[in-house]
Amino acid sequence: MLAGRSEKPPEPKPEQPTVKIESVDILVAKSDVALGQTIGPGDLEWQAWPMSAASGNFIRKNERPDALESVAGSIARAPFVGGEPIREQKLVKAKGSGFMAAILPQGMRAVSTQISAETGAGGFILPNDRVDVMLTRRQGEVDKSAPQTSETILKNVRVLAIDQAVEEKNGQKNVIGKTATLELTPGQAETLALSQQLGVISLALRSITDATSDGTKDDDSNGGRSTVNIIRFGVGTSTTSK
């Protein structure tokens, strides 16, 4: 005990200097925001982010202190997860329009076509998938015994909705709907409208690896034009939509 008391107490370790990280308040989603949802003030909050990690696309409180009120009322063109920074590129002001018109890209058209389990890949097609559109018809309009032909009239187009569902819900993996809404250019919309009167429309699901940023350019080799061959009484004609 005497020997232990004679030892000198250990010298305190020098304190490490504290590194201060500059932060900035960023507008983020307070909870998950679904595609097409109208954002209210209660869906947003300010959150401190490191200055070095704050992208220029983020909404900063020191630059826009009224952002909670100004962003409220916008419609989400893409889903947000809770805590994700709000970017105005993923928002749109509807100004009284429906959410489908709000989320539709500029210059594109939303066109619906009837489908079934047989013509819609067994129900495995979901919103935001990409599909090819095929037309099946008989070569002769009068002769019911005439052979049928099938051709792909549109390639790599995006599915906007199945029936009125615009996203997967409650972990549901497939929906056997009756109507598919497709995102088309004006020329493609004309082609689909004409083809619906000529025969049966089927959708072929494409691999996710085939998806590109602009599906209308992937397999479009004729400058956005689509040709449908029409046979009347054995005489074939071609109709091209621009």
Query: In whole angstroms, what is the distance from residue 116 CA to residue 131 CA?
Result: 15
Q: Which of 185, 189, 163 is nearest to 176 (CA)?
A: 163
Q: Which DSSP state fits 172?
A: -
Residue 137 shares a structural domain with residue 33:
no
Q: Which DSSP state fits 7?
A: S
Residue 84 shares a structural domain with residue 113:
no
CATH number at residue 47: 3.90.1210.10
Residue scoring higher pLDDT (118 or 7): 118
Task: Give the pLDDT confidence of 159-169 residue by residue, as tens digits.
Answer: 988 887 666 65
Residue 156 shares a structural domain with residue 227:
yes
Domain count, the chain: 2
Residue 58 shares a structural domain with residue 84:
yes
Residue 113 shares a structural domain with residue 220:
yes
Question: Is 51 within the bounds of a domain?
Answer: yes
Question: Is 139 within the bounds of a domain?
Answer: yes
- Domain end point (choices 72, 103, 134): 103
How many helices (DSSP H) and strands (DSSP E) are in the chain? 4, 11
- Domain end point (choices 88, 103, 118): 103
213 has pLDDT over 50: no
Question: Is 8 within the bounds of a domain?
Answer: no
Residue 145 shares a structural domain with residue 219:
yes
- pLDDT confidence bin for 85, thresholds 50/70/90: very high
Question: Is 231 within the bounds of a domain?
Answer: yes
Query: What is residue 105's predicted lDDT score, i.e. its pLDDT?
Result: 83
Which range marks the domain in which residue 59 is found?
Answer: 23-103
71 has pLDDT over 70: yes
Q: End-to-end alpha-carbon separation of the chain, Å?
A: 100
Task: Give the pLDDT confidence of 102-111 residue by residue, as tens digits.
Answer: 778 889 999 9
- Domain end point (choices 78, 103, 128): 103
Question: Is 90 within the bounds of a domain?
Answer: yes
Q: What is the mean pLDDT of the chain?
A: 77
